[in-house]
Structure 1
Amino acid sequence: MTITTVMSRKTLPTTLAAALAGLLLVSGCTKQTEENTDTSADTQTEVQNAEATDNTDLSAADKAHNDRLISSYANMAHAAYKDSLDTAKLLQTAVEAYVATPTQENLDAAKAAYKAARQPYSQTEIFRFDEGFVTANDKRAIGSIDGWEGQMNAWPLDEALIDYVSDSYEGEYNSQDNIINSDTITVGSINQDTTTITPELLAEMNEIGGSEANVTTGYHAIEFMLWGQDTNGVNEGAGNRPVTDYATEAGQCTSGDTVNDDASICERRGEFLTSATQLLVDDLTAMEAEWQPESENTLRSDLMARKYDNGLRQIMYQMGSLALGELASERMQVAFVTGSTEDEHECFSDLTHLSYANNARGIQNVFNGNYKTVAGKTVGGYGLKDYLVDTDNKAAADQLVTDFAKVEAAFNVIVEKGEKEGIKIDQMIATAGQVSKQGISAEEQNVRRGWVEAGITSLQELTVGIENAAKAVGIDNLDADAGSQF
C-alpha cells in the first residue's frame, strides 16, 4: 500500500470512521494525543446506552462463557499492573542509586530499568479505554483507568518546562525559567512556587495552565530526565544527557555543555527524578489494588458487577480503540505521515519500537486470554478467541487469528530492526527528503517506511475484524475510538 492510500483509506467500517482532527505540530516532544480518547459526557452516554449483549437474553451456557472471559481479563489486568508496579520499584531503586552516586554505570543501570519497566506497562494500555463504561462510585479510589492514565503516560511533553533544551527548541512553553533552574515559574496567569520539588508538586503542576503539553509526571518525564532531549532528528542516536548533569560537587555540575557556578541545579534534578519515580510507584500501587481478587469498590468489582451487561462490549471496544484510534492513528500514523520525530512515543530514549509492539501484544493477550508475566508465568486462560468459538462464532475467531498473525509479523520486524540493527522508529518514519543528506536512497527509505506502514495497515485490518466479531455476537455498533484518520 502506498503512502497516499494510507492517507485516504476509506475501507474502515463507518462506525469507526472519523474526520481529520488536524495536527498540532510543535517541536520538542509536546504532548498532544495521549489522552485523545473521546470521553466526553455525550460519548460516554452513547457507549453506556448502546446495544450490548443483554443479560436477560443469555443462556446459562453463555453466561458461563462470559464469566470465564471476564474473570480471565481481570486476572490478566491484575498481573500486568503488578508487573508494572514491581518493575517500577526496581526503576526507583536504580534511580535512587544513580542520584546518590552519579556514574555512567549507574546511569546505564537506570536506563535499563526504565526499558524493563516499560515492557509490562505498555501491555496494560489495552485496559485503558474504560471511561464510558465504569459506573460512578465515590468509594472507589480511582474513577477510571482512562482518567488515571494521564498522570502516568502523558506524551509528548514540553520539556522546556522541566529543564534546559537546545537553542533551536520550539515549544508552547518558551520561558528561560523552568522547574529545575528556578524557585518560581509563570505559566500564563499562574505563578507557581517550585522551591521544593516533591511528588505532590509534580502532580499539582501536571498540565498546569490547562495545557496538555505541560507534562511533569509519569514515564516520559522520567525518560527525559534520564536521556535528555534527542536533538538528532531523523539521524541515528537518542538523547545523551551527561552524567555531570547530576554531579553535586562544586564546579562539576553541568546543564549539558554549560558548567554551573554551583551544584544546586544538579541537586534539583535529582529531586525531580526521584520525586517523579516515587509518584509513578504510588500511582501504580493504587492501580494494582484496583484489580485485586475479591476486592470491593474497585474497578475489578465494578466490571464483575456488570459483566453480563456491557463487559463484553467494553473488552471489544478497548481492543478496537487501542488498535485503531490510539496505536495505528495517534501513535503511528501521525508521525508516519508527517515524518515528525516529535510525535514519536518515546522520543528521548528511542524505545518507541518496543512500546508499539507491546501495545499490540496487549491486544493480542486479551484475544488469546494469556498474559505472560515478567517471571514467565502465564495468567488468564480464556480469551475472546475462546469465547467466540464457544458461542458458535468460530469463523470470526479464525479471521481474527489471521489478523493477529499479520499484526505480530509486522511488529516483529519493527522490533528486530530496532533492537538488532539499530534502526529506530525516528529513522523509519523519515521521508526520503529528510534522509537524502545522509546518503540513504529514496528506495531504501521507502523500505524502512514500509515497516511502519505494514504495522499501521495490519492494525486497521485487525480493527475491521474486531468490529465484525462484535457484530457476530450481537453488538452492531461498537463505536471504537478511531483517532485522527488521514
Structure 2
Amino acid sequence: MTMTTVTSRKCLPTTLAAALAGLLMVSGCTKQSEENVDTSTQAEIQSTPSADKNEVSATEQAHIDRLVISYADMAHAVYKDSLETAKALQAAVEAYVESPTPASLEAAQAAYKTARQPYSQTEVFRFDEGFVTANEKRAIGSVDGWEGQVNAWPLDEALIDYVSDSYQGEYNSQDNIINSDSITVGSVKQDTSEITPELLADMNEIGGSEANVTTGYHAIEFMLWGQDTNGVGEGAGNRPVTDYMSEAGQCTSGDTVNEDAAVCERRGEYLKAAAQLLVDDLTAMEAQWQPESENTLRSDLMARKDDNALRQIMYQMGSLALGELASERMQVAFVTGSTEDEHECFSDLTHLSYANNARGIQNVFNGSYKTVAGDTIGGYGIKQYLIDNGHTEAADKLAADFKQVEDAFNVIVEKGEKDGIKVDQMIATVGQASKEGISAEEQNKRRGWIEAGITSLQQLTDGIENAAKAVGIDNLDADAGSQF
C-alpha cells in the first residue's frame, strides 16, 4: 500500500460549496434536555476568561459555554472508551501469544473489532492543527499530530512481516522487522534485534515514507489477520495460528514451516509491543480531555472558546465528512476499485469504520455520545446551538441530512454484518466483479450502496457550510481531500 496516510491531508483553500462542485465524480436527533448537562464542569467554563464577554448577551454566552463543555465531555468519554477497549484488546493479544489457538485468535480478533467501535467515533476531533495554541507544557500538541502513531493507514506490510509473492509496495526487501535483527530502509540502517514499543514508535514512517507504518490499530490488524489476498472476492485475511507457535517445527510463516520458532516468538513480541504502545498513546490522549485539567487540549479549547472554538468544531465536522470519509476513505477506493485503499483491508471491518466515522460527526451535532456502558454523555450540540440562536431552518436541514447519512450507512453495515458482503466487494468495478461471478446488475447495486454513502456526505457537508454561514462563518475552508 503506497497512498498517503491519514496523517498528512492537505487543507485546500476552497469553500465547501466549491469542493462539492469539483471534488466528487459520483452523484451525488433529538433535542437534549437541560438536565443532561454535566454540572460538575460548569465551574471549569465559568472560570475561563473571555475576551468577548462584553460583546454578547448572557444568553448567547451560555450557549457557547454549553457547546464547548458538551464537546469536551464527549471527547473525554469516547477517548476513555477507546482506552478501556484497547486495554481489553491488549489482554486478548497477550493471551493469544501465550497460547495460540483458534479460540484465542478469535477472541483477539473480536477484541480488535470491539476496540475499533469507539475509536472510529473519535476522528471528528481531528483536524485541529490550525486551531490549538502552542504550549510547551502540554504533552500533546494536537490531536491530528498525535493520531498518526495510532491510526495511520495504509501501511506497507512488507516492512513488518512476510507478504505474498505478488505483493507490490515501496518496501521490497526480503528482510523485515519480524525476520531480521537489522534492516535497511532507504539510507537508514535500523537495529531491530529487540522489538519494543519504543522501537516501533521510532520506526514509524522510517525513511520519510508515510507508507512505512509500524504502529497503531492497523499494524495490530495486520498481525492478527495477515494479508487479505482475496482481492474483491469474498474473505478477509487468514493468518494461521501456527504463525505464533513457539515450538520448533510448528512455527510457520504462512505456508512456510520454519526450522526453529524464533520468528514466531518475534511475531508475538511485535504484536504485544504494538498493543502496549496503543494503550500508552490512548492513555495520554484520555488525560488531555479530563475536566479541570491544565495545559491540555481541553483547557486550550476552554481558553479560546469565544475566539475560534465554534469554527474549529464545524471545521472538524466538515473535514471528516468530505475530505476524509467521502473522499480519502470512500471515493478513492470506489473510483479505482482498489482494495489496497480500503480502510480495514486485512479484517474486512471497513463497513463499521465508515459508519462509526459518520456517527462521530452526528454525535457532535446532537451533543450526545453513547458510551460502551450505555450512558449518554454530552447534553448540547450544534443542532440545539443553532436553534437557540434563531437558526432553526439550518438545524432542520442538517438534521435531515444526517438522517440520509444514517440511512445510507445502515445499509452498508447491514450488508457487511448480516449478508457478508464487505466493502471490498462493494467497491469492485463491474469488470472486477465479473471475474468473481457477480453480474453487472448485482455489482451496480452493490456499488450504489457506497455511492449513496458518498452522496449523503456531500449533502451533509453542504448543510454544515450552510449552518456555518448562518452563525457568521462565511468561509469554513474545511479539508477537501483528494480531487479526481
Q: TM-score, normalised by structure 2?
A: 0.91
Separation of aligned partners in 2, 1:147 and 1:444 = 42
Corresponding residue number in structure 2 for 1:333: 331
Q: How does 1:81-480 map to 2 (within 5 A)?
A: 81-480=79-478
2:183 aligned counterpart, secondary structure: strand
Deviation at 1:438, TM superposition (A): 2.1
- Tell me the amino acid that sits aligned with residue 71 of structure 1: I
2:227 aligned counterpart, secondary structure: coil
Separation of aligned partners in 1, 2:54 and 2:279 = 42
Q: Which moved more, 1:425-434 or 1:436-445?
A: 436-445
Separation of aligned partners in 2, 1:56 and 1:331 = 44
Q: Deviations over 1:172-207 (max 9, x none)?
A: 000000000000000010000000000000000000
Aligned length: 448
- Tell me the amino acid that sits aligned with residue 367 of structure 1: F
- Tell me the amino acid that sits aligned with residue 62 of structure 1: E
Give percent identity, aligned residues only: 81
Separation of aligned partners in 1, 2:94 and 2:420 = 29
Corresponding residue number in structure 1 for 2:22: none
Deviation at 1:55, TM superposition (A): 5.9
Q: Deviations over 1:249-279 (max 9, x none)?
A: 0100000000001000000000000000000
Instruction: Give structure 2 stretches of 5+ with no counterpart.
Output: 14-50
Q: TM-score, normalised by structure 1?
A: 0.91
Deviation at 1:437, TM superposition (A): 2.0
Deviation at 1:31, TM superposition (A): 4.8
Corresponding residue number in structure 1 for 2:46: none
Deviation at 1:237, TM superposition (A): 0.2
Corresponding residue number in structure 2 for 1:80: 78
- Tell me the amino acid that sits aligned with residue 36 of structure 1: S
Separation of aligned partners in 2, 1:38 and 1:318 = 14
Deviation at 1:485, TM superposition (A): 2.7
Q: Deviations over 1:60-90 (max 9, x none)?
A: 2111000000000000000000000000000
Separation of aligned partners in 2, 1:69 and 1:259 = 58
- Tell me the amino acid that sits aligned with residue 407 of structure 1: V
Corresponding residue number in structure 2 for 1:36: 8
Separation of aligned partners in 2, 1:340 and 1:481 = 23
Change (3 A) 1:39 1:147: farther
- Tell me the amino acid that sits aligned with residue 128 of structure 1: R
Separation of aligned partners in 1, 2:10 and 2:345 = 25
Separation of aligned partners in 2, 1:321 and 1:465 = 13
Indicate if the aligned counterparts of 2:11 and 2:479 stay in contact, CA closer than 8 A. Answer: no
Separation of aligned partners in 2, 1:102 and 1:54 = 60
Indicate if the aligned counterparts of 1:37 and 1:129 stay in contact, CA closer than 8 A. Answer: no
Separation of aligned partners in 2, 1:133 and 1:34 = 18
Separation of aligned partners in 2, 1:58 and 1:284 = 37
Indicate if the aligned counterparts of 1:31 and 1:154 stay in contact, CA closer than 8 A. Answer: no
2:369 aligned counterpart, secondary structure: strand
Separation of aligned partners in 2, 1:169 and 1:485 = 27
Change (3 A) 1:55 1:329: farther
Separation of aligned partners in 1, 2:153 and 2:453 = 21
Separation of aligned partners in 2, 1:168 and 1:478 = 44
Deviation at 1:37, TM superposition (A): 2.6
Indicate if the aligned counterparts of 2:367 and 2:378 stay in contact, CA closer than 8 A. Answer: yes
Corresponding residue number in structure 2 for 1:14: none
1:35 aligned counterpart, secondary structure: helix
2:138 aligned counterpart, secondary structure: coil
2:435 aligned counterpart, secondary structure: helix
Separation of aligned partners in 2, 1:267 and 1:39 = 43
Deviation at 1:314, TM superposition (A): 0.3
Indicate if the aligned counterparts of 1:31 and 1:214 stay in contact, CA closer than 8 A. Answer: no
- Tell me the amino acid that sits aligned with residue 38 of structure 1: K
Corresponding residue number in structure 2 for 1:70: 68
- Tell me the amino acid that sits aligned with residue 101 of structure 2: T
Separation of aligned partners in 1, 2:257 and 2:459 = 53
Corresponding residue number in structure 1 for 2:38: none
Indicate if the aligned counterparts of 2:5 and 2:211 stay in contact, CA closer than 8 A. Answer: no
Separation of aligned partners in 2, 1:110 and 1:57 = 55
Indicate if the aligned counterparts of 1:30 and 1:159 stay in contact, CA closer than 8 A. Answer: no
Change (3 A) 1:39 1:477: closer
Q: Deviations over 1:208-229 (max 9, x none)?
A: 0000000000000000000000
Q: Deviations over 1:143-195 (max 9, x none)?
A: 00000000000001000000000000000000000000000000010000000
Indicate if the aligned counterparts of 1:39 and 1:131 stay in contact, CA closer than 8 A. Answer: no
Root mean square deviation, CA, Å: 1.4
Indicate if the aligned counterparts of 1:335 and 1:344 stay in contact, CA closer than 8 A. Answer: yes
